[in-house]
Amino acid sequence: MSDQLKGLLITMMGVLFVVPDSLFIRLIDVPPLEVSFWRGLSTGLLVLVYVMMTTGARSVGAALRGGPYAYVYLIAMSGTGILFTLAVSHTSVANVVFIIASMPVFAAILSFVWMGEAMSRRMMVTMIAVFAGLGIITYGSGETHGASLKGDLLAVCVSFVFAVALTAARRVRTVSMVPMLPVAYLVSALCLSPFVLPVQLEASQYSLVALHGLFIGISSVGLALGPRYIPSAEVALLILLESVLAPLLVWFALGEDPGAYALVGGAVVISALGLSNLVVLMRKRPKADPIGRAAP
């Protein structure tokens, strides 16, 4: 199997396994913070087992010794899971995933400010289109049942904090941040434990919690490993599938209508990002991204 095909298959697996994330959050019948607690605990333990089996405890220690940027990554990744659960709990799934799709724009802005990287004309045009799409989505939150500006703002925070994590990971390229993922998940669960104990989870919900953790664990590993073999522009195009499939899955399973504003705004965001990445692929084939991406 070629590296290209291997990267596509692994990344696609990661994308498909993260699609039901929002649906699990809807189905697990406990307060949002407890959902986030179980999500962090179950996923963290599963990914930790994988890391220990593949790279060993030394890799975790090496990641923890990666310097201040490694800890920025750790804190940011711990926060994204909590913010994502809260966002899904306060607005429509369509609004959340379409807004989070804007993460590459925030990453470009942070790279410009934080790392002094030049902003291309292509990215500037993309940013204008993406922010226009976000404006449509947030404007429609007052008109769409189940959507709210509060949840939309939380989704913007997820997108921004996730961009902070990926930008920090780029500052420590010499050390893989993959072993830091289970630590981040477990830290988020530890931080939430004072607010959720004693837990309110019924016995009938344990299977959902276990499946949720399994799906996010597989997705985290796939989205961390896949980008090692294919260009980041291809990864970005594949990840956009989640933004399309997640609201469709929740719409089909629970009848949650995204609303016209979310569909129009989401189409603007996804089209702008998709075209931007297609331009990159058409101009030249960039090197594979060694950092990867995990679920928020």
pLDDT of residue 284: 61
Per-residue pLDDT tens for 28-37?
999 999 999 9
The 8 Å CB, 24+ separation contacts for 194-203 are 195/33, 195/37, 196/31, 196/33, 196/34, 196/37, 199/30, 199/34, 199/37, 199/38, 200/30, 200/31, 200/34, 201/28, 201/30, 201/34, 201/38, 202/29
pLDDT digits (tens, 9 = 90+) for 235-289: 888 888 999 999 999 999 999 989 899 999 999 999 999 998 888 888 765 444 4
Instruction: Please tell me whether the overall predicted TM-score, pTM, comes out greater than 0.95 for this model.
Output: no
CB environment 133-153: b (16+ within 10 A), e (fewer): bbebbbebbeebebbbeebbb
Task: State yes or no: pLDDT of 9 exceeds 60.
Answer: yes
291 has pLDDT over 70: no
Cα 123 to Cα 96, 107, 110, 131, 293: the distances in Å are 22, 11, 13, 12, 20
pLDDT in tens, 192-215: 999 988 788 888 899 999 999 999
